């Protein structure tokens, strides 16, 4: 396994993949809030369902 951070990769697409994953995650959160559904994530190997209400509360706490 390569110990270098992905942000230092030679391939520009690989370097940009981190930002793309962050955008996709934000879009998934917005979609869950808009549709009133759960956001399903894996954290520490465990499947977690985050209700839209929790996502709304977290979003309202973020500074603008």
DSSP symbols for 48-62:
EEE-HHHHHHHHHHS
CA distance 12 to 9: 7
CA distance 28 to 59: 13
pLDDT score recorded for residue 64: 65
CB atoms within 10 A of CB 13: 8
- The model's pLDDT over 10-61, given as tens digits with 9 standing for 90+, comes to 999 999 999 999 999 999 999 999 999 999 999 999 999 999 999 999 988 8
């Amino acid at each position: 396994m390569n110990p270098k951070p992905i942000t230092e990769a030679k391939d520009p697409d690989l370097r940009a993949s981190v930002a793309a994953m962050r955008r996709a995650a934000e879009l998934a959160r917005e979609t869950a809030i808009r549709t009133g559904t759960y956001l399903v994530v894996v954290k520490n190997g465990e499947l977690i369902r985050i209700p839209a209400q929790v996502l709304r509360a977290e979003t309202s706490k973020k500074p603008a």
